[in-house]
Structure 1
Amino acid sequence: MMNASKTEYRILVVEDNPGDFALVEDFIFEQIESPIIIQVKTFKEAEEILIKTGPVYTVVLLDLSLPDRAGEALIYEMVKLCRNIPVIVLTGYTDFAFGVKSLSLGASDYLLKEDLTSISLYKSIIYSSERKRIISALEESEKRVRSFANQLNNALEEERARISREIHDEFGQHLSGLKMSLSSLKKSNNGNHELETLISALVADVNISIESVRQIANELRPVLIDKLGLIAAIEWLVAEFEKKTGISSYLEADTDQLVMDEMPEINIFRICQEALTNITKHANATSVKIQIKNTDGQLFIKIIDNGSGIKSKTLHNPLSMGLLNMKERANLIDAKLNINSSSQNGTIIELILDTNGKKNINSRRSFRN
């Protein structure tokens, strides 16, 4: 017997052939000290015991031909049932393609019974259980990172909203007061033409400053999102984009009401904002279209341009900040982000979000093309 780890090994063997089970059992005892081995002969029995006991098993050894289930369907159902328990497939079939297929379905390993030895089985059990442990640890670590990123993103948006309010309310009010004072001074002017001209110029400068303050406040946190909802905010974004860049831009929306939480609204808006910023910097586009469809509990948003496309090295560069920002924001709201780009057809960025079960915060504005 090899000097196996003192970790307790609980092994569920799903095998209906007595001879094959006896061989597997002998191999396990040959390499592992005092393992706990449980045998079941059908998928139904395996299902019942796994539901009853939970994830207490180190591995599941699965024969591919059971009385009540076999083949791909058996692997799929067993992997789904086992969740974090590695599933090692044991089979008499020598089909290499099927072995690869079983791994793609989630099996940890694929062993041929005719080539099975105590060493190969032991290695598979050890490697599979350790790999699953590492993957589970990585997944848990990723969850913590995602949670932190979400909290950081929320804090950032709250800070942006606070700064936006202060800029709009405080600085904007001061400028409005200055404008009123200048207007009052102009009215009390005793016919001094030069002074009147100077005051008019100052009022014009103040008007420009007031508009700049509103613009900065809106870019930090568009007030339209809070007052009128996502559709209105994206409509404003598209209009401002066209005004600034001269690129022909328009919005197509087949919905006049969206039902979702506040954070998805903000992140969707930021993704659209980032996409339009990237188009301005890199695409050399002459037209941009944003399509919004709300169908069967899913929200589809496409941002389409006719530009020069995104270079392959940029598209696949994990450190490309604009694309990374969009992908991370999509992850934060459990959305899918697909990017298709070519030098001939431009770029299509598609965001897909499941809106079922979201909090009922409507877009609060009726919008139609």
Structure 2
Amino acid sequence: MNVNSIPEKEIVAIILYISLFFVIVSIALIIFFYFSRKKIIQKEIEKKNLVLAHQKEQLHAILITQEVERKRIAQDLHDDISSKLNVVSLNSYLLTSANLTEAEIKEITCNIINLTAKALDNSRKIAHNLLPPVFDKFGLHAGVEELCEEFESCKSVKVYYQNKIDFDENEKDKHLHVFRILQELMNNSLRHGKASEISIIFDKVNGINNCFYKDNGIGFDFKSSESQRGLGMKNIDSRISFLNGNINITSDSNKGVEVFFTF
């Protein structure tokens, strides 16, 4: 068939139909990419909203933890320090009284010395809880060693500690989060888990620091919402997030607790 024999109108019609086809395909592709992009953007927004919500929840948990810690410190200062200093003040005032015998002066002075010594000892304990001097001076390894010794001093639990990492002294801020995580886990093992044995191992695998923690306590149902909502667990999750690490907790009733986290 000769193209020249095709009427001009049919050629124009064919060109129009082809053009219309490409226009429709183009519009369809534009609509497809528009909605695909819109869906991608929507998913990204949802993802960012989830991250923001998680960060907000972590911040809330940290603020609550800080408030609880402030109340505990205030209570300790009031009960242990202020009360003793008040008695010291009263005894000091008694020394200004007239006609005191030598025995009375000696007794009052001894009371002042004893109460002052107790107040100093309690203030050291409060400061130690805020930031252990051994940790501050010698780092995470020494801090964890002392922590293990403190728990073993109660004679109700045996702690096995092994460290295979040479910690960088310039990362003490990060290591403090690791210390607090272990402190929280050990407190839970002793207070709630009734554990008699605790194991802590620091190791480095493929350049990543990790910690394996285990106890032989009564354990708990980690999948329950009540366990996951606990302030202690939220506090641990927040610290792991700051460390850009990951955590995996395995536990069942009467089977102890196993915790693995990276930092």
The one-letter amino acid paired with 2:46 is L
Q: Note the alpha carbon deviations across 1:264-292, whole angstroms, 9 max, x for none.
A: 21211121121122223310111222211
- Which residue type is aligned with residue 138 of structure 1? E
The verdict on how the C-alpha distance between 1:325 and 1:147 changes in structure 2, with shifts beyond 3 A counting, is closer
SS at match of 1:283: coil
Residue 41 of structure 2 is aligned with which of 121, 129, 133? 133
Counterpart secondary structure, 2:229: coil
**How far off is 1:210 after superposition?**
1.8
Change (3 A) 1:196 1:243: farther
Cα distance change of structure 1 residues 229 and 294 upon mapping to structure 2, 3 Å threshold:
same
In 2, Cα distance between the equivalents of 1:297 and 1:34?
50
TM-score (norm 1): 0.48
Question: CA distance change for structure 1 residues 315 and 270 in 2, over 3 Å: closer, same or farther?
Answer: farther
1:305 is displaced (CA, Å) by 1.0
2:202 matches 1:292 = yes
CA distance in 2, matches of 1:222, 1:304: 23
The question of 1:325 aligning with 2:235 is answered yes
The answer (yes or no) to whether the contact 2:144–2:179 under 8 Å persists in 1 is yes
Counterpart in 1 of 2:12? Answer: none
Higher helix share: 2
Structure 1 residue 247 and structure 2 residue 247: aligned?
no
For 2:14, the equivalent position in structure 1 comes to none
Q: Which sections of structure 2, spanning at least 5 residues, go unmatched?
A: 1-20, 96-100
Q: Percent identity?
A: 22
Rate the CA distance shift 1:147–1:310 in 2: closer, same or farther, 3 A: closer
Structure 1 residues 135, 289: closer, same or farther in 2, change over 3 A?
A: same
C-alpha displacement at 1:346, in angstroms? Answer: 0.8
Which structure 1 segments of 5+ residues have no match?
1-25, 38-57, 60-124, 354-369
Q: Deviations over 1:141-181 (max 9, x none)?
A: 35556677579969x98xx8xxx9xx8xxx8xxx8xx8xxx
Q: Aligned residues, how many?
A: 222
RMSD: 4.3
Q: What is the rounded CA distance, in whole Å, between the counterparts of 1:293 and 1:339 in structure 2?
A: 17
Paired residues for 1:1-369 under 5 Å: 29=24, 33=27, 35-36=29-30, 126=35, 129-144=37-52, 192=103, 195-197=105-107, 199-244=109-154, 246-258=156-168, 261-314=171-224, 317-353=227-263
State the shift of 1:140 in Å.
2.7
| Residue type at the aligned position of 2:152 | E
The 1-side partners of 2:225 and 2:150 are apart by 26
TM superposition score normalised by structure 2: 0.64
Which is greater in Rg? Answer: 2
